[in-house]
Amino acid sequence: MNPLKKLAGQTAVYGLSSIVGRLLNYLLVPIYTYRFATGDYGVVTEMYSYVAILIVLCTYGMETAYFRFTKSENPEKVYSTALISLLVSSLVFIVFVYCFSNEIGNLLRGKSSANIPYKTYIVWFAFIIAADAFTSIPFAYLREKGKAMRFALLKLVGIGTNIGLNLFFIVWCMDVYKQGETNIFFAYINKIYSPEIGIGYVFIANLVASLITIILLLPELFSAHFFFDKKIWKKMILYALPLLIMGLSGNINETLDRILLKYLLPGNINENLQQLGIYGACYKLSILMTIFIQAFRYAAEPFFFSHHKEKNAPETYARVMLYFIIVCSLIFLGVMLNISWIQYFLGGAFREGLHVVPLLLIANLMLGVFFNLSIWYKLTDKTHYGAWLSIIGAVLTIVLNIWWIPIWGYTGSAWATLICYSVMCILSYFIGQKYYPIQYPVLKILFYLALAVVLYFASSFISIDDNVVSVLINNLLILLYLALIWKIERPKKMVI
């Protein structure tokens, strides 16, 4: 079977859980932004920004190390060793966070006058993070065994539980409670629902979903022999530590802006949380790009490792990059040329930040390019280069955010993210050509990217009062872009 067809098929299956799940989660954004104030959603954005960093710390590169060493060591020993390692570290993390929850809560609260129960949120998230870190290995086990359908099913069940509980508490319970005793369900709802919890129900839903996921993964957990091989563990840790540094740096690049906004914006903490809520909601409009990149990553990492010994592997990787760019460019155009109606997925108070959406879309595209380029240091066991590249990106992120947030607010954060990922891509490309040369079609890639941006700017100069006609014209521009790509690639049989 054509390896690119296999990759596309696996991307589609893994994407089922990622795309459907993320889209369903995305449908919660209108609920949050129409039912909660910008400051409340700012707390949600803040908490999940910390989660993104801590989940990397708690998995410490073991997922990728598992894929790497199942090819050279006894797969069962590798699986069992990784599982025990994460079980112990996750339990230690829960105990540590619980013991210091008061101190951590006071740090997060700062001088805020709002009565935000950070201590409670912190304990909930300790269990969420630990559960998600621990289950990363059973999910990696399913990917390594090619059990894409079970992987997708379990992910969807967890996501469905999360969404169902969100709808139950934030929509149904909230509405019933507001109606009071005139609603026949009020007496029952009054026993299980408290309006004071508010956005806390977002976190409760996540916690329950994470715990249910562990239960669903019991067959994979019990399949482990629970034998801890110190020799294998040391090899995995040495391989994973640079990945940990890279992962932490990468998540700092991705989420630090939403952490720093609360402290670097010129307003008080309550006002800054409102700005953070707006930025976090607008960030969600880049969800389609994030979805595709995540689905691609699930399928691509084992794909890259399994084909690296083939003679034409570099050529295959180059073609993968080209097709990746084409799809991402289409996603960029699809979102930005339809922003006139997509914007209504956000509550009115959140739409003032729409101008950062194109920057965030392109920034996430560059992150996807960096992931594609990163294959050279993973295949050559030079993961320390990945760590250094991510550290450079993290330093850029920190410096630019500290510099630009007080001046331009969250717009400065969006530009910092784009510049950070672009610099990382450029450095990775040139260093990678030295250790694992891949003849990427750079000029063609740059042409497709530039053309997408030009079409976006062209659409902004088309002023038509009729919204329907405007949307039709914008989507004709997308078809024009697609037709041009087809004309260029068709003679070379663009078969994936």
Question: Tens of pLDDT along 384-442?
Answer: 888 888 889 999 999 999 999 999 999 999 999 999 999 999 999 999 999 999 999 99
Above 80 in pLDDT, residue 310? no
What pLDDT shows up at residue 12?
Answer: 61
Number of helical (H) and strand (E) elements in the chain, helices listed first: 24, 0
Question: Tens of pLDDT along 117-161?
Answer: 999 999 999 999 999 999 999 999 998 887 878 988 899 899 999
Residue in 22, 35, 33 with CA at minimum distance from that of residue 171: 35
What pLDDT shows up at residue 327?
Answer: 94
Give Cβ neighbours of residue 25 (< 8 Å, ≥ 6 apart): 159, 162, 163
Contact 308, 377 (CB under 8 A): no
Above 70 in pLDDT, residue 296? yes
What pLDDT shows up at residue 422?
Answer: 96
Total domain count, the chain: 1
248 pLDDT band (50/70/90 cuts)?
Answer: confident
User: What is the sign, positive or negative, of the torsion defined by CA atoms of 270, 272, 275, 280?
Assistant: negative
Give the pLDDT mean for 231-259.
88
Looking at 171-180, 256-265, 468-477, which range is the least confident one?
Answer: 468-477
Give the pLDDT mean for 216-235.
91
pTM: 0.85
Rounded CA separation 122/46 (Å): 12
Contact 424, 283 (CB under 8 A): no
What pLDDT shows up at residue 1?
Answer: 54
Rounded CA separation 487/496 (Å): 16
CA dihedral 367, 453, 300, 227 (to 10 degrees): 20
Question: Tens of pLDDT along 68-127?
Answer: 888 788 889 999 999 999 999 999 999 999 999 999 998 888 766 668 899 999 999 999
Above 50 in pLDDT, residue 496? no
7 pLDDT band (50/70/90 cuts)?
Answer: low
* Length, in residues, of the chain: 496
Question: Tens of pLDDT along 339-362?
Answer: 989 999 899 999 999 999 999 999
Q: What percent of the chain has pLDDT over 70?
A: 93
19 pLDDT band (50/70/90 cuts)?
Answer: low
Instruction: Quote the domain boundaries for residue 26.
Output: 3-492
DSSP for 190-213 reads: HHH--TTTTTHHHHHHHHHHHHHH
Residue in 66, 388, 89, 93 with CA at minimum distance from that of residue 240: 66
